[in-house]
Amino acid sequence: MSTGLKEKVGLKLESYTFRVEKGKIKELAQAIGDLKEEFLSGEAVPPTFPTVIDFWGGGASSSELLNLNMKKVLHGEQEYEYFRGIVPDEEITVHGVIEKAYTKAAMNFYVIRKDYLDKQGKTVLISRSTIIERH
Amino acid sequence: MEVGQTLEPLQKEEITHTQLIRYAGASGDFNPIHTVVPFAEAAGLGGVIAHGMLVMGFVGQAIGQWFEVKNLKKFTTRFKAMTRPGERITVQGRIVDENDTCWICEAEAVNEAAEVKVKAFFEIRK
């Protein structure tokens, strides 16, 4: 089971692009209950907004790439490093790669790094997600 | 602001099934372990569990209460325990260190029994 793990390091996710819609910003803020005026108006984004980019940008392909059983998958860690704020209506393109894969305590761990770039190719933020697959 | 300072806790409302459905739609994370009770039971979870990212969102809300979100430089969370509908989360935090440009802080999201759901670390520009 763990023999194929190492081969997954370096695998790239299919890139995806998302236009930062103000309505999606407001929707996320309301779902969290974080009702700051700048979020409701869509002028600024909550810190966890990149998850919206991932799922609505056509991503979420990591589970397919890693061939994960969704009944056995848990989110272990999440990290964001912000270089500048996300601006409403801009387009963000995401490139993802499997950075690490290892087995510990009868679970598989995958670290997925994603780089979020603006139209000029500048990095807006970097995320690292640790996905745990129970055996 | 100073190192050692405790930040005012953020008390959230009780998490409801509706909130999880709403969060699924907002985030786009439709993994049924968060929304479909029979699926979550079959997965051995004993019912639906909240998205870890929702609880991270609560911590993000607290950070915005303590500082300016636009000054957030790094935000890391470790998901320690599952959160379920009916639980009431409080986010507490403190400033643990500083450097020339940033405050280094830690925070955690806990339930009423003080069980830690999410442990967070963040750096915020001064």
Region B102-124: mean pLDDT is: 98
How far apart CA A53 and CA A60 sit, in angstroms, is 10
pLDDT single digits (tens) A19-71? 999 999 999 999 999 999 999 999 999 999 999 999 999 765 677 788 888 77
Chain B CB contacts of A74 under 8 Å are: 52, 79
Task: Identify the burial level of B63 via C-beta atoms within 10 angstroms of its C-beta, where 0-12 means exposed, 13-18 middle and 19 or more buried.
Answer: buried
Instruction: Say what angle helices A22-32 and B52-66 make with each other, to 10 degrees.
Output: 90
Kindly tell me the number of DSSP H helices and DSSP E strands found in chain A. 4, 5
Which segment, A10-19, A53-62, B86-95, is predicted with the most confidence on average? B86-95
Region A99-125: mean pLDDT is: 96
Which segment, A65-69, A74-78, B63-67, is predicted with the most confidence on average? B63-67
Q: Which of B28, B58, B75 has its CB closest to that of A32?
A: B58
Average pLDDT, chain A: 92
User: Is it the case that residue A1 has pLDDT exceeding 80?
Assistant: no
Please list the residues that pair with A25 across neighbouring strands: none
Percent over 90 (pLDDT), chain B = 96
CB B72 within 8 A of CB B63: yes
* B20 contact A CB<8A: no
Query: pLDDT value at position A60?
Result: 58
**What are the phi and psi torsion angles at A86 (to 5°)?**
-80, 135
User: Is it the case that residue A2 has pLDDT exceeding 90?
Assistant: no
User: Is it the case that residue A6 has pLDDT exceeding 90?
Assistant: no
Measure B105 CA to nearest chain A CA, in Å.
14
Chain A CB contacts of B54 under 8 Å are: 31-32
Task: Say how far residue A91 (Cα) sits from the centre of its chain.
Answer: 15
**Of A101-105, B24-28, B63-67, B86-90, where does mean pLDDT reach its minimum?**
A101-105
What is the dihedral angle through the alpha carbons of B69, B75, B80, B84, rounded to the nearest 10 degrees? 30
Q: Which of A30, A48, A76 has its CB closest to that of B60?
A: A48
